[in-house]
Amino acid sequence: MLSSMLTGVSQTPSLSIAAGILAVSLSTIYLLQFQWSCRTSKVPLAQERVLILGATSGVGRTLAHKYASRGAFVCVVGRRTAMLDEVVQECEALSSQGGFKDRILGIRGDCSDVQDMLTLRDAVQDAWSGLDTLILTAGVSALQPLMSVAGIDMSAPGPRSQANAEGIQHAVKAANAAVNGNFIGPYVVAITFIPFLTSTSPSPSIMLLSSVAAVIPAPTRTLYASTKSASLLLYQALSIEHPSIAFTFILPGTIEGDFRASAVDNPPGAPAPKIHEADPNKHGLKREAVADRCMRAIDKAEKMIFTPGYFRAGHISYWVWPTFIEWRARVKYNFKH
């Protein structure tokens, strides 16, 4: 009877496909549950040692609050001392509400500064004797079409101006700042902390907050997208070189907040960054939702997360129908050429 059932399934392609999808889905669910239970058995939530780089604002700050609330040992890192002190106080209050004490550290540091990162590693070693979870949310934004960064208005009527030495040098300076914040920082962090993680944690994890712009190109995001793409590919390659570490990559769309204030590519003489897209504080993803998704992905050792999830389809569609995705990107960023 069993053989006749199998024969029937094999003769019905749709049933075979459905059975295959079901088997894969069940296997995926089982593996995720196993990974979750496996990590929590090795690193209990209330004993997890978490380092958050870029914790003074945005998703990094929200993650610090959430980890403190569930009793983790949390080290928050940022460049702005006043804001760092605020986050430490907030996390200490949340931690104490859960009955935990002396679990919060605050260290001022720049991810791209080698000495800052070495000092940070020593502080974590002295306080906790190791690290389980490294979260990298630090970075800088860049918002302008590349020619605008060099002072060229490509939309102006009449004869088109050419880039001069001053404009090109200004664009190079902006590129150096973007590379330093979005690539060199993660690069220094990886070299500093990967050996430390692998030697001190029974279940090490690294989460990189990247951007959907790292895999789907967009106008006005030339510098931002290229530098975020570079750090994403760096960490993807590192995940192959270091399979004992669970790497998680978060690729969100536009998130609410003041991240765009960190833009490094204002055109020459521009008083403030020009935002081309719809107001992110009205239309962007909520920080709470993104932080919750980050934590679930880390806990379950998920690899590549698009949020919202439909951006995964957009990524695939770019290789199938690039002209449509490019048109949608122009619409999103109000780009007319």
**How far apart (Å, rounded) are the C-alpha atoms in residues 173 and 167?**
10
- Predicted TM-score (pTM) of this structure: 0.86
| Structure confidence by residue, pLDDT tens digits, 142-156 | 989 999 999 888 877
Q: State both tokens at 220.
A: 């006005």
Mean pLDDT in residue range 171-185: 96
Q: pLDDT value at position 158?
A: 73
Whether 67 and 73 have beta carbons less than 8 Å apart is answered as no
Whether 284 and 267 have beta carbons less than 8 Å apart is answered as no
Mean pLDDT in residue range 124-131: 98
The ranges assigned to domains in the chain are 38-153+163-333
**How far apart (Å, rounded) are the C-alpha atoms in residues 96 and 14?**
56
Between these two residues, 31 and 150, which has the higher pLDDT value?
150
Q: pLDDT value at position 5?
A: 42
Among the listed ranges 2-11, 209-218, 301-310, which one has the minimum average pLDDT value?
2-11
Whether 171 and 268 have beta carbons less than 8 Å apart is answered as no
Q: State both tokens at 226.
A: 């290229």
pLDDT at 337 over 80: no
| Structure confidence by residue, pLDDT tens digits, 222-242 | 999 999 999 999 999 999 999
**How far apart (Å, rounded) are the C-alpha atoms in residues 38 and 27?**
16
pLDDT at 163 over 70: yes
| Whole-Å CA distances, 207 to 12, 172, 180, 219 | 43, 30, 19, 27
Mean pLDDT in residue range 185-199: 98
What is the topology classification, in CATH, of domain 38-153+163-333?
A: Rossmann fold (3.40.50)
Whether 49 and 133 have beta carbons less than 8 Å apart is answered as yes
pLDDT at 30 over 70: no
| Structure confidence by residue, pLDDT tens digits, 268-284 | 777 666 667 666 777 78
Q: What does pLDDT average to over the chain?
A: 88
pLDDT at 260 over 90: no
Between these two residues, 12 and 260, which has the higher pLDDT value?
260
